[in-house]
Amino acid sequence: MYGSQREHASNPQQGYAARNGSPETETQFGLSLPSTPASLPSKPDLAFPARRKVIFVHGCFWHSHACKAGLIPKSNRDFSLPKLRQNKARDRKNLEALSLLGWDALVIWQCELKDGTA
């Protein structure tokens, strides 16, 4: 049993998929779900409009996670650094904008998903 709450979460399993790192999660990378409100200031990987919650699944490299996968190869710095800085600034802006609108945002890192399936 997942608990007694049966409100209007249209598909509660999406949330569990993200946490468990099941194959379903992978198909959602880079796709915007139909349930994502068009008015949001960004494109979360998962959105739960009834609860005003969104979840981002971030790739460690492109979003500069402080983990092994987030390291920048020396040979590629000229190309990567400006782009990574832009990504980081955009991430921060998105989260700020969402919280101003009253949305709760959760960031899940790709490396966390991998750990979860070990």
Nearer to Zn ion, 5 or 76 (CB): 76
**Are 28 and 72 spatial neighbours (Cβ–Cβ below 8 Å)?**
no
Say whether residue 109 binds Zn ion (CB under 5 A): yes
User: Got the DSSP string for 63-113?
Assistant: TT-SSGGGPPPGGGHHHHHHHHHHHHHHHHHHHHHHHHTT-EEEEEEHHHH
Out of 18, 63, 65, 98, point to the residue binding Zn ion (CB under 5 A): 65
Q: What are residue 78's phi and psi, to 5 degrees? A: -60, -40
In whole angstroms, how close is the CB of 61 to Zn ion at the nearest point?
A: 8
Say whether residue 111 binds Zn ion (CB under 5 A): yes
Say whether residue 113 binds Zn ion (CB under 5 A): no
In whole angstroms, how close is the CB of 110 to Zn ion at the nearest point?
A: 6
Say whether residue 67 binds Zn ion (CB under 5 A): yes
Nearer to Zn ion, 84 or 111 (CB): 111
CA neighbor of 109 nearest in space, from 43, 25, 9, 37:
25
List of residues contacting Zn ion (CB under 5 A): 60, 65, 67, 69, 109, 111
